[in-house]
Amino acid sequence: MGLKFEFLLVAMIIFTSVLTMSTTLKRQHTSPLGEKKELVFTQTAFTEVTTEGSEGVAYGSYGERKEGVLTIRDLKYYDADINLLTADRGRYDASKVHLDGNVSLYRRDGFSYRTEHAVYDRNISVFYATAPFVAEGKSYFLQGDKMAYLLRKKELYASKVRAVVNMEGR
């Protein structure tokens, strides 16, 4: 009986050794950031810089970059043309910033624009309100369905406009 047990024990050792030596293990990389996320951040400021200097600054309470697209919550942005641009959510896609929820654009001269959805094209400095908007200035109040505001030229193009304009003081 003792000889059969030893033979069985030796056979098990050989089997385990062969199995262990023939098995290859692959190391799996797991990211604490989640799948395919390239960057995750909280309470961060991003400064756009070129060889000429700073182009713009964006602040966010939380954000992530996934597959080349940067998404930011509680976005606050400013540059040479914009005093302050705010939104609940912003998504940077190439040169365009897609804005959703409580979108506000404030110019340095006191004019403001508010909407729920907009796109800001940074290359050509145009703010597109893709939802109903309100625009206010020192002498006017506008409401409309959609608009395109050319920041450098200070020109506003809008559809279905309802306006109140005060011409006093001109």
Q: Let me know if residue 158 belongs to a domain.
A: yes
8: in domain: no
95: in domain:
yes
**60 assigned to some structural domain:** yes
Are 64 and 71 spatial neighbours (Cβ–Cβ below 8 Å)? yes
Reduced to 3 states (helix: H, G, I; strand: E, B; else coil), residue 23 is coil
Q: What is the pLDDT of residue 33?
A: 47
Look at the chain and report how many structural domains it folds into. Answer: 1
Whether 5 is covered by a domain: the verdict is no
Residue-number span of the structural domain to which 109 is assigned: 37-165
Residue 32 forms part of a structural domain:
no
pLDDT tens for residues 82-134?
889 999 999 988 788 899 999 999 988 778 999 999 999 988 889 999 999 99
Which residue in the block uniquely carries the two structure tokens 């729920």? 116
* Selection from 37, 114, 46, 35 nearest residue 76 by Cα: 46
Between residues 74 and 140, the one the model is more confident about: 74
The answer to whether position 9 is within a domain reads: no
Residue 151 lies in a domain: yes
Q: How far apart are CA 117 and CA 102, in angstroms?
A: 8
> Does the reported pTM lie above 0.95?
no
**Spatial separation of the C-alpha atoms in residues 147 and 149, rounded to whole Å:** 6
Q: With 0-12 CB in 10 A as exposed, 13-18 as middle and 19+ as buried, what is 46?
A: middle
Question: CATH number of the domain that 54 lies in?
Answer: 2.60.450.10
Nearest of 54, 77, 61 to residue 151 by alpha carbon: 77
pLDDT for residue 138 = 82
